Amino acid sequence: MDIKRIKIMFHINRPHLTYDILTILRNYDISVISMEVYSNVIYLKVPYISEDMIESIRRECEKVYGYDYMEEIDVMSFEEKDIELKGVLNLIGEGVIMLSSKGVVEYGNKIAFKHIENLEVGKYIFEFIDDVDLKNYIERKENNFMDKSIRNKNINISNYRFLLNVDRLYSEDGIFCGYLLTLKEINGDFSYDSLLTFEDIIGEDENFKRIVDIAKLYAYSDASILLTGESGTGKEMFARAIHSESNRASKPFVGINCAAIPEELLESELFGYEPGSFTGANKTGKRGIFETANGGTVFLDEIGEMNYHLQAKLLRVLQEKKIRPIGSDREISLDVRIISATNRNLEKLIEDGNFRMDLFYRLNIFRIEIPPLRNRVEDIPLLTQYFLNVLSHRYSKGNIQIDESARQRLNSYNWPGNIREMQNVLERAVVLSREGPITEEHITFDKTDSFDNLILNYEDLNSAVGTFEREFILKALRENKTIRATAKVLNVTHTLLLNRIKKYKIQDDEWRV
């Protein structure tokens, strides 16, 4: 049916204006599909009428006291607002769903429809999200103002994990009119935020489950925890899960990699500085991560790479619960829990005079040794399927199949790079398999067998040299696990190696967990 949309403006606001206009339409036997009325304007949506009839109606309207003008428009006011609202919501990187007061879906943005299979307007949200807390929350009486919202609840939808937030919506007059529901995916791209929990740590190996149980017990203490284990075993995941399980879960979790930042900058990152403290300093100064995380948790990754000078300052923080920013004469009281991690033998570093014994005992109140993947053989199939589910979502490939020969190849490998290497191997396999199942030939490990042939693909000398240097650095990083240790092996400065890594765009996930 063809539609006309008409806007009628008035230069005064008086009683019965709407009645006078509707009387004119009735005299012309014109039905009204919808209408919006404001103080000085009326919007009408009517069936198609000819230009001649519109002109006649205009002449009749001119006789109405207070009439200003009439014009045809493309969209009604509420339609324009609806278009603007949907446009804004579709730009948001989270799933957004608007519900009626009874929990019926009234609108969902593109992300919501992507995340929730078969989501449909007009149906109850419980048909798509099976969560007891959500159901209980929505089915409560409207005048119950306790628990006004759901905040950062971990839920599973189609094997993916999300943070669920739900808020009640009210009109300008305070009338309850529905709910706003948002979904933020928290593990769809191999990255984990501070809200990660122990439920996100996958493993059925008995020894591994025992370690997880111990970590949960340690979480409720405020004492320092030292996480040890090979690169790629998931030490940062444990740190974040411990934070989420602790009494500090509502406070910040701030992590820093002690090997990834040049020694001359690490101190300012940890403790902050006052304006003008040194050349190149920010004019307004900077808060350090200890101050930023006050009340929460500080995660010091690769603690074994911290230089001796900073170890002494860190010891003071642990002893006195205070920090002093660079260039400042003021002390800031702290309430933080420190979790540190290393893949190095700290006892050996102490023997060699490279790590302070007193700091070690402060950090090592609780210790958790995370086993390598080769010691969790029965978890390999479980992790394989988990990462394939993540990759199917990432590459929009549906259910990714893997044949038995490929599974056997994965199960028999010793995984020197642990979990991160498994992620890389499976991602390569997904890309190489195109639309078919993953077979043994798609499983390629991080070997250097073909390295000698790599530079032969380049005729240009500069390109060949650049390729050789990038692969040489990458091989050394994988073998030595940290930037500082790699720089020593390559006999270059830490800063030079960082510059080369930046130049060749070497990503952390190519060599590090």
Rounded CA separation 505/513 (Å): 17
Q: Which of 335, 263, 265, 332 is nearest to 298 (CA)?
A: 335
Cα dihedral sign for 310, 313, 319, 325?
negative
Rounded CA separation 322/314 (Å): 10
**Global confidence as pTM:** 0.54
Q: What is the pLDDT of residues 87-109, one digit of tens each?
A: 667 767 678 899 998 899 988 88
- Tokens standing for residue 372: 């390598």
Host H or E run for residue 326: none
Taking CB atoms within 8 Å and a gap of at least 24, the contacts of 121-124 are none
Which among 76-85, 126-135, 314-323, 460-469 has the top mean pLDDT?
314-323
Residue 349 has pLDDT above 50, yes or no: yes
Rounded CA separation 114/293 (Å): 35
Count of helix runs (H) and strand runs (E) in the chain: 19, 18
Indicate the residue type of 382: L
Q: Helix, strand, coil proportions of the chain in percent (round to 5)?
A: 45, 20, 40
For residue 325, what are the contacts with CB-CB under 8 A and spacing of at least 6? Answer: 271, 272, 273, 274, 277, 285, 288, 291, 332
241-261: average pLDDT: 87
Q: What is the pLDDT of residues 260-306, one digit of tens each?
A: 788 778 888 898 888 877 766 666 678 888 988 899 999 999 999 99
Rounded CA separation 125/123 (Å): 6
405-422: average pLDDT: 88
pLDDT at 192: 35
Indicate the residue type of 493: T
Residue 368 has pLDDT above 70, yes or no: yes
3-state secondary structure of 418: helix
Indicate the pLDDT class of residue 513, thresholds 50, 70 and 90: low
pLDDT at 300: 95
Rounded CA separation 130/162 (Å): 13
